[in-house]
Amino acid sequence: MPTLHWIAATAAIAGLAVPAAGLVARNAPSDGTCTKTTVAILGGGMSGVAAAQALTNNSITDFMILEYNDKIGGRALHTNFGKQEDGSPYVLELGANWIQGLGRPGGPENPIWTLAKKHGLKNTFSNYSSILTYNETGAVDYMDLLDKYSEAYEKAAAKAGRLLAENLQDQTARAGLALAGWNPKHSDMAAQAVEWWSWDWEDAAPPEQSSLIFGAAGSNLTFNQFSDENNLVIDPRGYNYIIQQEASTFLKEGDPRLRLNNRVTNITYSDDGVTVYSDDGSCVSAAYAICTFSVGVLQNDVVAFEPELPQWKQTAIQKFTMGTYTKIFLQFNETFWPTDTQYFLYASPTKRGYYPVFQSLSTEGFMPGSNIIFVTVVADESYRVEQQTDEETQAEVMEVLRQMYPNVTIPEPTAFMYPRWTKTPWAYGSYSNWPVGTTLEMHQNLRANAGRLWFAGEATSAEYFGFLHGAWFEGREAGYQIASIMQDKCVQVYDNAQLCREARPFYEPLPGTSPLDHYNILNGWATSSFYSSDSAQKE
Ligand SMILES: Cc1cc2nc3c(=O)[nH]c(=O)nc-3n(C[C@H](O)[C@H](O)[C@H](O)COP(=O)(O)OP(=O)(O)OC[C@H]3O[C@@H](n4cnc5c(N)ncnc54)[C@H](O)[C@@H]3O)c2cc1C
Ligand SMILES: *[C@@H]1O[C@H](CO)[C@@H](O)[C@H](O)[C@H]1NC(C)=O
Ligand SMILES: *[C@@H]1O[C@H](CO)[C@@H](O)[C@H](O)[C@H]1NC(C)=O
Ligand SMILES: *[C@@H]1O[C@H](CO)[C@@H](O)[C@H](O)[C@H]1NC(C)=O
Ligand SMILES: *[C@@H]1O[C@H](CO)[C@@H](O)[C@H](O)[C@H]1NC(C)=O
Ligand SMILES: *[C@@H]1O[C@H](CO)[C@@H](O)[C@H](O)[C@H]1NC(C)=O
Ligand SMILES: *[C@@H]1O[C@H](CO)[C@@H](O)[C@H](O)[C@H]1NC(C)=O
Ligand SMILES: *[C@@H]1O[C@H](CO)[C@@H](O)[C@H](O)[C@H]1NC(C)=O
């Protein structure tokens, strides 16, 4: 049953009697100095662009995108690195890199995969079975642990499915794995490395902090519903090429509806409209706004909201987790690691998560002959290396590589680089993770609108949080939902689900679990059943 607050919010929005698109500007605050628009889209990443396209598709063309950076794309971001034979640099992804879960013939397809095919984005199948294992003495075979982990994970995921279907209390992924038979000692460094590769590498958080239910559900919804393939994007135009190309389907060259280099500082919102102030003193007043800033940005209080965001929203923002995922790139004058293998897993003798996964780009299908390898750290190790100089971090990585390949004389790298995502003022981290003990309703409070201020982005996706496709789905849904309200019509969002003129519910107080009938499209749960590989294959 809906809570009283939910009814109140719906009634308040329904009572607004929204006029046709052209008239809406009158509803906005009568602040003569601000540029007027119908929908202000805050942020030009995947979510903001999908929202603008969704509005366009519904004939709402009076919108403005306000973006901090000098380009569209957000956390899909690349940079030049090192040198090719002709002296020009390679192009490497600092943020999103994989298309995760592609799709099966006849089955649902990951929309990012659809866009990658449409725009001819260069990508290569990432083979997670192409892996060698190491420790501080060199190559050591502990591959059998990978299968042991997988067996336990399957059991834990099935248990998660039962907890969800029976509406029982969440557990940590740690508890779920241990109960399913994967319970390594802290001193078993090979098992710790395998666990890091299998869990932390995707979630950018350890199993202790992660929700068993939503970790398993999220993994199912991407890798069972679409497919378990991950393709690494290696396009010299960058991953954000597909976002920019989609933006150009509705934005002309120099379109005044896109403001780049525009840092939003203040957002004033009510049930009547939203006014957005930027650091250059400009402002935009809109009938609606969609805020697509990362959870990191919202958590860091860098944008001032007037009035202060309601407690239920602030709690949801602080409850959700922003992870950090750091790729550290090295180029050498030669490739001293095996070129027929994609991944090299290192078990540090002293510290879990210490430079654990190396990835070769010099391998066939990627950037052969590039002599580029990169290593990834997450969470606490990311925070630690972000505080170090490049020289300090490079020395640590080189020590590890020399342990892994004791029989090779390894030269110093010719290029070295890594981003500091936690200190990036328009992201404050990499992507979100669903923490243990967080209900669907709590998550819904992260995505619910506060008056005419809506929220979208990677983190507001209940089903695909953390992924680029989550950002796309959520931007689209916010755009469709606002169109539905403004134009007083129902919109078909998925084959099996419509949205009809409804604002998003929020929940207060929050009970310990969310009733099963709240797993619905209005709360961001579009799948009619809980996907298993079986049901996905049948569809
Ligand atoms: C290191 C890393 C690795 C990742 N790997 C993958 C992967 O392999 N596969 C995958 O699917 N996903 C991956 N992701 C996640 C993916 O990048 C995100 O889910 C997605 O890009 C988020 O899109 P978004 O539109 O929600 O947010 P964003 O891309 O963050 O867009 C929000 C926009 O808001 C802007 N903004 C912020 N603050 C302000 C302000 N004050 N004023 C104006 N504008 C502002 C930002 O500049 C940004 O452009 C990765 C992310 C990172 C960082
Ligand atoms: C908008 O419509 C086009 C054409 O039908 C479609 O390809 C695209 O996915 C739609 N975009 C969104 C965000 O719904
Ligand atoms: C992935 O790598 C494994 C191990 O090298 C190999 O047996 C398998 O054929 C590879 N798969 C594909 C699709 O290339
Ligand atoms: C290094 O060389 C020694 C002696 O030749 C050999 O026993 C060992 O297996 C080699 N180690 C690696 C990791 O190749
Ligand atoms: C923006 O917020 C800051 C901090 O709350 C405040 O000092 C400032 O006056 C606000 N500016 C505008 C234009 O509202
Ligand atoms: C790479 O550099 C090292 C040290 O400078 C040198 O010994 C080695 O021969 C070089 N390798 C190639 C392939 O040039
Ligand atoms: C690393 O592997 C070697 C060889 O198998 C083994 O003797 C050593 O104990 C391992 N190190 C750790 C910390 O487990
Ligand atoms: C995940 O998929 C597995 C395999 O189909 C299924 O048994 C399990 O119930 C699912 N778990 C969740 C949480 O969706």
Q: Nearest ligand to the C-alpha of residue 276?
A: 5
* 17, pLDDT greater than 70: no
- 409 in ligand 4 pocket by Cβ < 6 Å? no
Q: What is the pLDDT of residues 440-463, one digit of tens each?
A: 999 999 999 999 999 999 999 999
Q: How confident is the model at residue 141 (pLDDT cuts 50, 70, 90)?
A: very high
Q: Is 139 in the pocket of ligand 7 (CB under 6 A)?
A: no
Q: Which of 3-17, 107-121, 329-343, 438-452 has the lowest mean pLDDT?
A: 3-17
Look at residue 8 in the predicted model and tell me its pLDDT: 29
**What's residue 529's pLDDT?**
54
* Res. 291: pLDDT tops 60: yes
Helix axes 111-118, 468-486, angle to 10 degrees: 100
- Asked if residue 59 has its Cβ within 6 Å of ligand 4, the reply is no
Helices (H), 207-350: 212-219, 241-247, 295-299, 311-319
Q: Mind listing the pLDDT tens digit for each residue in 389-435?
A: 999 999 999 999 999 999 999 999 999 999 999 999 999 999 999 99
Q: If you average pLDDT over residues 232-238, what whole number do you get?
A: 98
The two beta strands, 138-139 and 357-360, are unpaired
Residue type, 100: Q
Q: Of the candidates 106, 36, 85, 27, which has an alpha carbon nearest to the alpha carbon of residue 64?
A: 36
Task: With cut-offs at 50, 70 and 90, classify the pLDDT of residue 538.
Answer: very low
Alpha helices, DSSP H, located in 15-143: 46-57, 111-118
| Cβ partners under 8 Å of residue 124, min gap 6 | 231, 232, 234, 365, 366
pLDDT grade for 496, boundaries at 50, 70 and 90: confident
Q: If DSSP codes are grouped into helix, strand and coil, which group holds residue 355? A: coil
Reading the block at residue 106, the tokens are: 């006849």
Give the per-residue pLDDT at 26: 35
What's residue 361's pLDDT? Answer: 98
Cβ 476 under 6 angstroms from ligand 2: yes
Mutate to test the pocket of ligand 1, among 262, 293, 386 (most ligand atoms within 8 A of CB): 293
185-192 own/partner pairs: CB under 8 Å, 24+ apart = 186/352, 189/135, 189/347, 189/348, 189/349, 189/350, 189/352, 190/133, 190/135, 190/140, 190/142, 190/145, 190/347, 191/142, 191/145, 192/347, 192/352
Residue nearest to atom 1 of ligand 5 (CA): 266
Torsion-angle region of 207 (φ positive above 0: left; ψ -120 to 50: alpha; else: beta): alpha
Q: Which region among 6-10, 21-25, 218-222 has the lowest average model confidence (pLDDT)?
A: 6-10
Q: Residue 74 Cα, ligand 1 centroid: separation in angstroms?
A: 5
Q: Is residue 323's pLDDT more than 50?
A: yes
* Confidence class for position 343, pLDDT limits 50, 70, 90: very high
**Token pair of 226, please?**
């679409």
Task: Scan for tokens 């998003």, then name that residue.
Answer: 504
Report yes or no on whether pTM surpasses 0.85. yes
pLDDT at 19: 35
Cα–chain-centroid distance for residue 391? 30
Kindly state the tokens that stand for 40: 């202000």
Phi, psi of 469 (to 5 degrees): -70, -30
Q: Does residue 505 contact residue 523 with C-beta atoms inside 8 Å?
A: yes
Query: Residues of the chain with pLDDT > 70: what percent?
Result: 92
Task: Tell the burial category of 391 from Cβ atoms under 10 Å away from its Cβ (0-12, 13-18, 19+).
Answer: exposed
Q: Once rounded to an integer, what is the mean pLDDT over residues 360-372?
A: 97
pLDDT above 50: residue 7: no
pLDDT at 532: 38
Q: Which ligand is nearest to the CA of 127?
A: 3
Q: Which of 523, 454, 445 shows the shortest CA–CA distance to 38?
A: 454
Residue nearest atom 12 of ligand 3, based on CA coordinates: 127
- Residue 96 in tokens: 């999103």
Residue 358 near residue 375, CB atoms below 8 Å:
yes
Whether the CB-CB separation of 379 and 324 falls below 8 Å is answered with yes
Closest C-alpha to ligand 7, atom 10: 135
Which residue has its alpha carbon closest to ligand 3 atom 11?
127
50 CA: nearest ligand 2 atom: 13
Mean pLDDT of 486-497: 92
Mean pLDDT of 262-279: 98
Say whether pLDDT at 531 is over 90: no
pLDDT at 304 exceeding the cut of 90: yes
Which structure tokens are listed for 444? Answer: 């819904």
pLDDT mean over 266-282 = 98
Distance 128 CA to ligand 7 centre (A): 23
- Does the pLDDT value for residue 336 go beyond 50? yes
Taking the centre of ligand 2 as the mean of its atom positions, its distance from the CA of residue 494, in whole angstroms, is 12
Ligand 8 atom showing the smallest separation from residue 216 Cα: 13
Atom of ligand 8 minimally distant from the CA of 213: 13
Side-chain-side CA neighbours of residue 337 (13 Å): 31
Weakest mean pLDDT among 22-36, 154-168, 297-311, 473-487: 22-36
C-alpha dihedral (150, 151, 154, 159), degrees to nearest 10:
-130
Band of pLDDT at residue 539, cut at 50, 70 and 90: very low
The CB of 57 under 6 Å from ligand 2? The reply is: yes
- Looking at residue 381, what is its pLDDT? 98
Minimum CA distance residue for ligand 1 atom 12? 467
Other beta carbons within 10 angstroms of residue 380's beta carbon come to: 14
**Which pairing describes strands 415-417 and 343-347: parallel, antiparallel, or unpaired?**
unpaired
Which residues sit with their C-beta closer than 6 Å to ligand 6? 333-334, 411
Residue nearest to atom 12 of ligand 5 (CA): 266
- State the pLDDT at residue 528: 59
Which residue's CA is the nearest one to ligand 7's atom 3?
Answer: 137
Closest Cα to atom 2 of ligand 6? 411
Query: Token pair for residue 374?
Result: 């990169």
Beta bridge partners of 284: 35, 276
User: Quick one: 5 exposed, middle or buried, by C-beta within 10 A (0-12, 13-18, 19+)?
Assistant: middle
From the CA of 265, give the closest atom in ligand 5: 1
Helix (H, G, I), strand (E, B) or coil at 72: coil
- Rounded to the nearest angstrom, the distance between the alpha carbon of 74 and the centre of ligand 5 is 25
Confidence label for 11 from pLDDT (cuts 50, 70 and 90) = very low
Q: Is the CB of 266 under 6 A from ligand 5?
A: yes
- Give the C-alpha separation, 139 to 159, whole Å: 35
Average pLDDT of the chain, as a whole number: 92
Compute the distance between CA of residue 278 and CA of residue 489 in angstroms, rounded to an integer: 33
